Amino acid sequence: MDDFWGDAERHLIRYNGAGRFVPEIIERAEGSFVFTAGGRRLLDFTSGQMSAILGHSHPAVVATIQRQAATLDHLFSGMLSRPVVDLARNLAATLPDPLSKVLLLTTGAESNEAAIRMAKLVTGRHEIISFARSWHGMTHAAAAATYSSGRKGYGPAAPGNFAIPTPNAYRPDFTTDGQELDWVRQLEFSFEMFDAQSVGSLAACIVEPILSSGGVIDLPPGYLAALRDKVHERGGLLILDEAQTGLCRTGDWYAFERDGVVPDILTLSKTLGAGLPLAAVVTTPEIEQAAHERGFLFFTTHVSDPLVAAVGNTVLDVLQGDGLDRRAAELGAYLNKGLTELKERHEVIGDVRGRGLLVGLELVEDRATKKPADELGQAVTRRCLELGLHMNVVQLPGMGGVFRIAPALTATTGELDLGLEILDRAITDIR
C-alpha cells in the first residue's frame, strides 16, 4: 500500500483540535455504510457529518449530479439559473408564512454568518445572544456566537456577544421543588444578566432547537416561544439554526414546528444538500426588503451555484415523495426504544434523549451523581469502530460522553438493530 498515513502526516493541516482522524482509509460509501481500503464495512451512525439524510450515494442524487455537472455546474455569482429559482420556490413551499425569501450558500457557518450580518444591518444593532453550549460555525460572527469549544487562543471575538445558560433537563441548574429543570426561572435569570450587560443594542438571538454539538439537548416545550418573546421585547430578531434538525430529521419537516414558533430568520445547511455543500438563509419579505434598502452584501464565490441547487431540489423531492418525515418519526421511536432497553442493561448509560433520528445517549460513571465518563466514551467509540460501527462522542466539560446518533432517514430497522447490537457489545466489552 502507498504511504497514505505518512503523506497525511506530512501534508495535512490537522483541523479537528485533537488532531486525530479515524484510523481507516475510506474508499467508498453506499446507503448506511462506508467501506474501508482494507475491505471493512462500517455502519455510519452519524450520516457522515450529520448530513447524508438520504444515505450515501443515493441513486436520485447521483443521477442529478451527473446530469447537472454535464450541463451547468457553476456561474458568475450575479447570474441566475433555473435550479436556483426552483429551489428557492420549493423550499419556501415547505415553510410557514411569511418565510419565503431565500439565499443559497454553501456551509452552515456561512449561512449563520449571513443571517447574523443581515440581522445587524436590518436592526442597526450589534449584540448577539446564543447558548453557552452552542455551535454555529467557524467563520467570524458564527464563531463569536459559538461557546461549546474553540474560543481560546484566537484573540478577541466580535464585541457584543452574550452566552445564556443552556436548558439541560438532565443536568439542571435551576430546579423546581421536584428537582426538575425550572427553565422559566433560568430564562428570567438569563435575561436579567443580559440586560445588566447590554448597551441596549440587541440585533438577534441565534439558537438551535436541539443543540447537537452541545450534547443533543432538546429545548423544553414552551421555551422557544418564551425566548422569542424576550428577544422581540428587546427589539431583536430570532434566528433558528436548523443545520441538523431541518428537513425531516426530527420527525417534522422543521424542529420549530413542534412549538408553533416561526423564526424571523431560518438557516439550513447539512441536511439540505444531503452531504453536498449547500446551505440556505430563509427570511420574510419585510426583513429582506429592509436589508436590500440598506445595501445588504453577501457576495460569495459559490452563492446560487446551480449544481448544488439542483441536488437540493432532488433532496426535497425524495423527502416528500418517500414521506421521510413520517419515516424519521417511526424509526426514531424504534431507535429510542432500543437505546432505552440498552439503558436498562447498562448502568453507565445515564440518559437517552432527542427527537426523531437525532438522538443523544449520555454515558456516566455513576447515575446518582451523574459523574462524567469521558474516558469511557472514548473507549466505547474505539471499540464500536473495531466492531464495525462509526459513532461520534461529544466531550464537553461537565457533560461526560454523549453519543450523537443520527442515522440516515433511509436506514432500515435491520441496520438500526445492527448498530444497537454493536453498541451493546462495545459497552459490555469495555466494562
Give the catalytic positions in this structure: 135, 208, 241, 244, 270, 404
d(CA 289, CA 291) in angstroms, rounded, equals: 5
Q: Partners of 241 in the beta sheet?
A: 267
What cell does 135 get?
455551535
d(CA 95, CA 242) in angstroms, rounded, equals: 13
d(CA 154, CA 172) in angstroms, rounded, equals: 31
Q: Are strands 33-36 and 26-30 parallel, antiparallel or unpaired?
A: antiparallel
Q: How many other β-carbons are positioned within 10 Å of the β-carbon of residue 85?
A: 14
What cell does 26 get?
475510506
Contacts with 223 (C-beta within 8 Å, 6 or more apart), sequence order = 167, 183, 187, 259
Q: How many other β-carbons are positioned within 10 Å of the β-carbon of residue 292?
A: 12
Backbone φ, ψ for residue 147 (5° rounding): -120, -10
d(CA 264, CA 325) in angstroms, rounded, equals: 23
Per the listing, cell 443581515 goes with 118
d(CA 254, CA 175) in angstroms, rounded, equals: 29
Omega cis (within 30) before 98: yes
